[in-house]
Amino acid sequence: MTEVFAPQYVAIAMPPAAGLLAEGWRGLAWGLLAAALCAGVPAAVIAVGVRRGRLDSIHLVERASRKGPMAAGFAAVVAGLAVLAVLDAPGVVTASAAVMLVWVLVMGSITLWWKISFHTGVSAGTAVVLAHVLPAVTFALMA
């Protein structure tokens, strides 16, 4: 379960899932762009770090090794949000990227002093986003 629900994978899956549920195929396409920009870049930074032996694993078990990937995540999400805003992406996709920014800021700040579970934080944020989108889908299906 740790591998399947690694924060990188959940973060990559969230924008396309939210986009598809809220906007259909158009939302899925926007969600894929958001996922690539906001979550794919940090996931690639972590994968390269692991491959080169600079990081212990994709789970960043060593708290001290989280600073570089967190900085890369912050830069990627800010740039991704800017691209989504300029291209006028659907609100739910932009909101998904904004949630990622909150993850980086809140969990990144905490992890400077305490080892925090990114698995839990990212999963909780994803649950909130999908819970927000699902009532609209349920209502549309019932109508």
The tens place of each residue's pLDDT in the chain, 143 residues long, gives 778 888 889 999 999 999 998 899 999 999 999 999 999 999 999 999 999 999 988 888 888 888 888 899 999 999 999 999 999 999 999 999 999 999 889 988 898 888 888 888 888 888 888 888 877 655 565 55
pTM of the predicted protein model: 0.84
Residue (of 52, 69, 56) closest to 111 by Cα position: 69
Q: How does 15-45 read in b/e, with b if 16+ C-beta sit within 10 Å?
A: bbbbbbbbbeeebbbbbbbbbbbbbbbbbeb
Domain extents for the chain? 7-142
